[in-house]
Structure 1
Amino acid sequence: MDNKGTKITFLSEKMEFPAVDLATQDGLLAVGGDLSPDRILLAYKSGIFPWFNDDSFILWWSPDPRMVLYPDRIKISKSMRKLLLEDRFEMRVNTRFKEVVEACATISRKDQKGSWITPGMEDAYVKLNELGYAKSYEVWDNDRLVGGLYGVDLGNVFCGESMFSKTPNASKFALINLAIELKKKNYSLIDCQQYSDHLKSLGAEEIPRHEFMRLLQTKDQAGHQK
């Protein structure tokens, strides 16, 4: 129970989540359940995501505010504009999904010990990829996978999970290309989940959870969520 008196929901086998406004002050909403494709997809469609360090103790979150990136607000520096015009990197989609997830799980990060991408999480997202929901955006330097990101594609919102770089600017290259593609497809936003200085430098911003939920659930006249 947090300082607002909110009780954490313990999930059963029933495929449902509590309302996101019942989350604690730091965004924790529920504990338990499983990592089946159906449950994970229901979570993302409900503004919720899994994040934990132990496969035996699954935690579900819906923070307020929410970090998002509007595709048309991506910040592209002069150096990155130059890199985008060069032939150094090649973008590929879903050619090495499992390798991208593994790289995100094992890459060394400043001020971070270990990884939240547990073996159970990795298996879950590989299954989602096989079903066509999870996608990897990969940066290749000749025949070397040097960076990329992965996430869940809801058709109107791309829920980013993690990214990595093995060479300078590779993850930025992936995110910028993703934003450019999603802008052309009229996606509402890229869900970045939680604040980071790196994401902010690329144009991501925090918005109230209720605004995030509105964008996640609103449909335009063409029938697509917007």
Structure 2
Amino acid sequence: MTILTPEILLNAYTHGIFPMAESRDDPDLFWVDPEWRGIFPLHDFHVSRSLKKIIRKDLFKITVDTCFRRVMKECATPAPGRENTWINRTILDLYTELHQRGSAHSVEVWKDDTLVGGLYGVSFAGVFCGESMFSREKNTSKIALVALIARLLKGGYRLLDTQFLTDHLASLGAIEISREEYHRRLADALKIKADFYSLEPDCSGAEILQSITQTS
């Protein structure tokens, strides 16, 4: 595989492909362009009543881009049901550099001063490609997802890519579309100039839910 640079990596995303590793200990990467792609239909996203109650209580603090590399490391840490991950050192370094250039972002969920959940992904034009999420307490990865979708809707994004559809993502509202349909939606979203920082970094749970309601 050609030595990857942040420029090559971001260009690959604009063409619908992304790199993966067989495991966190495997230094090699390979390109992936799935026949079937997972996405979240942004304007049809639904937050369950129970999750809304948790978010409104502001039991957790939600931040963006405060500890991107740490979120990646948490996503790469084995957990029950996810003993092996594909985030190796090469991916960690490449995406950290993308973040430093403003093309990758993280959402963090805190309980007091402890990081208990989060996610990260790549952002360009009107597209956000979610890479991975983690949870150290119940519902915290879901809270991070809701916060992300509120931000994407407010910022004018058109496409939230989840790469593959898992049972967990499907339970949150993700669907599966064909490669051809994904590339069509990608082409449309590439025409958009979205704004990841459309929401204030310290907005409350009520403000996050309001953003989803107003724009979905």
TM-score bin (small chain): 0.7 to 0.9
Q: 1:1-226 residue pairs with structure 2 within 5 A? A: 32-53=1-22, 55-110=26-81, 112-218=82-188, 224=192
SS of residue paired to 2:95: helix
Q: What is the distance in 1 between the residues matched to 2:61 and 2:152?
A: 18
Residues 115-134 of structure 1: per-residue CA shift (max 9 Å, x gap): 21001110111111111111
How far apart are 1:89 and its partner, in Å?
A: 1.0
The residue matched to 1:44 in structure 2 has which SS? helix
Report the counterpart of residue 13 of structure 1 in structure 2: none
Q: Structure 2 length as normaliser, TM-score?
A: 0.84
Q: Which runs of 5+ in 2 are unaligned?
A: 195-216
Q: Percent identity?
A: 42
1:52-100 deviations in Å (ceiling 9; x for gaps): 1365432100112110002222231111010111121111111011110
Structure 2: distance between partners of 1:114 and 1:205: 24
Higher RCO, 1 vs 2 (CA within 8 Å, ≥6 residues apart): 2
1:107: how far off? 3.9
Query: Is the CA contact (8 Å cut-off) linking 1:148 and 1:165 kept in structure 2?
Result: yes
> Comparing both structures, which one devotes a greater share of its residues to helix?
2
CA contact (8 A) 1:71 1:188 kept: yes
The Cα offsets for residues 25-52 of structure 1, whole Å up to 9 and x where unpaired, read as: xxxxxxx122310111011100001111
Once superposed, which parts of structure 1, at least 4 consecutive aligned residues long, lie more than 3 Å away?
Answer: none
Q: Secondary structure at the match of 1:218?
A: helix
Q: Which runs of 5+ in 1 are unaligned?
A: 1-31
Matched positions, count: 192
Structure number, greater radius of gyration: 1
Bigger drift between 52-61 and 83-92 goes to: 52-61
Residues of 2 paired with 1:56 and 1:178: CA distance?
A: 30
What is the aligned-residue RMSD (CA, Å)? Answer: 1.7
